[in-house]
Amino acid sequence: MLAIDAPHHQLLGTASALAHGHCIGVSVGESWTGDAMADVLDRLIAQMGRPAAYLKDGGSELHKAAAVLEARGLGSPCIDDISHAAAGMLKHDSQHHPAFERFVSACGRVSGTLKHTSLACLAPPTVRTKARFMHVHRLFTWAERRLPLSPPGGAKTGSLFARLRSCMDELPACKDLIKRFCADAQGLLACQKIVKTKGLCHDTLAQCQPLSSAMPSAPLRLEFAAYLAYQLATAKTLGLDHVGLPISSDAIASLCGVAKRHGVGQTQDAARIALRLPALCAAPTREEAAQVLRMSVSRQHEITGQVTSLTKQRREVLGHRKDLESLGWSQGKPHVELVARPKNRANHGAIINLSMSCGDQYGPPLVPQQPPCVIENAGPPDMREAALR
């Protein structure tokens, strides 16, 4: 979980990034359900107080967790990340198109034909199957740029141009789908750029309207307009409809991308990765640097020795020649949980002093990086809350 200032766009005037978020909670588990997520958030709320809103992607587990917290009387408005929302809209509009699977299959065959040849630079980009519609516009953009090369004739037999045309497979037959999808995706991406940079408010909504109106797919236009209207109502509830509502979860996506480089296997090294997450957010302070310097190597080994990781097992088995049977031994606690705790708690339950400290049994708490982050005028006059992802 990352915390960002709810009036982020008013304070900084830029898109939210990893440097603007502060890690206030990390939890590792074998699997996650809505109830399990709600329990973690419940413990975090007990320490930090109720957030102004939850900024989340379109995951069903997160949706269930928000509903469970609402039933417990700890509910807060939910903000749906614009990138995931747009990807879902494209999926609803295009995945059942009769030419979509034909197009994807043709791209796969073109890729297989062009790779490892002198024309490899013209091969289509790789789009993963999971969350395909987050980046599938790149595939359609590639295809749109290759369509002018598809008409037969005019190329010398045996030339590279002729070879390229012969590799186009069924892409020319999908021309209508390619043109429509690219026009829809361009409109959505242009709106995302505006809203991510300035936040969602009345001004940015007005800037998005002509862009969304130019999208050729009527169902997509209506769904996107309804999404923006719903999120703007949330912004009004928080008092941010004239300031700019943070509506992008790119910061936590960046954090996960950076963190994965610190582990050999994303699942097997989850605990090892989790211990590093708080240090990857925002900029460390001089006090935090001094705190790290005071920690001895033996203490570091004591902390990291409580969790298993592929890197540790590999070092022990290959470097120290331990028996392979040691891989089956249980090594400490399998899960890690870091929950931030406030430096001071006010008597009024709705007033939150958001500390960036993370304290748990694995080591000393981090020193707060800066004064408490609060959002002003986002609710009743006596309430100040911090935004939480």
- Beta carbons of 56 and 76 less than 8 angstroms apart: no
Query: CA angle, 37 as apex, 34 and 43 as ends, to 5°?
Result: 140
CA 38 to chain CA mean position, Å:
19
pLDDT at 185 (0 to 100): 93
pLDDT band of residue 49 (cuts 50, 70, 90) is confident
Q: Is 158 exposed, middle or buried (0-12, 13-18, 19+ CB in 10 A)?
A: exposed
pLDDT above 60 (res 387)? no
pLDDT digits (tens, 9 = 90+) for 337-353: 777 766 544 333 333 33
Q: Output the average pLDDT for the chain.
A: 79
Cα 11 from Cα 17, distance rounded (Å): 14
pLDDT in tens, 293-336: 888 888 877 777 777 777 777 777 776 666 666 565 555 555 77
pLDDT in tens, 177-201: 999 999 999 999 999 999 999 999 9
Q: For residue 292, what pLDDT band results from cuts at 50, 70 and 90?
A: confident
* Structure confidence at residue 132 (pLDDT): 73
CA geometry: angle 284, 370, 198, nearest 5 deg = 95
Q: Which of 47-61, 157-171, 242-256, 336-350 has the lowest mean pLDDT?
A: 336-350
Q: At what angle do helices 175-198 and 136-146 cross, to 10 degrees?
A: 130
pLDDT (0 to 100) of residue 319: 65
Q: Which residues pair with 385 in a beta bridge?
A: 375
Number of other residues whose CB lies within 10 A of the CB of residue 7: 24
Q: Is the pTM of this model over 0.85?
A: no
pLDDT at residue 214, as a whole number: 93
pLDDT recorded at residue 346: 37
Q: For position 360, what pLDDT does the model report?
A: 39
Residues contacting 328, CB < 8 A, separation 6+: none
Rounded to whole angstroms, the Cα distance separating 110 from 122 reads: 10
Residue ranges of the domains in the chain? Answer: 2-81+248-388, 82-220
Q: What is the pLDDT of residue 381?
A: 40
- Report whether pLDDT(111) > 80: yes
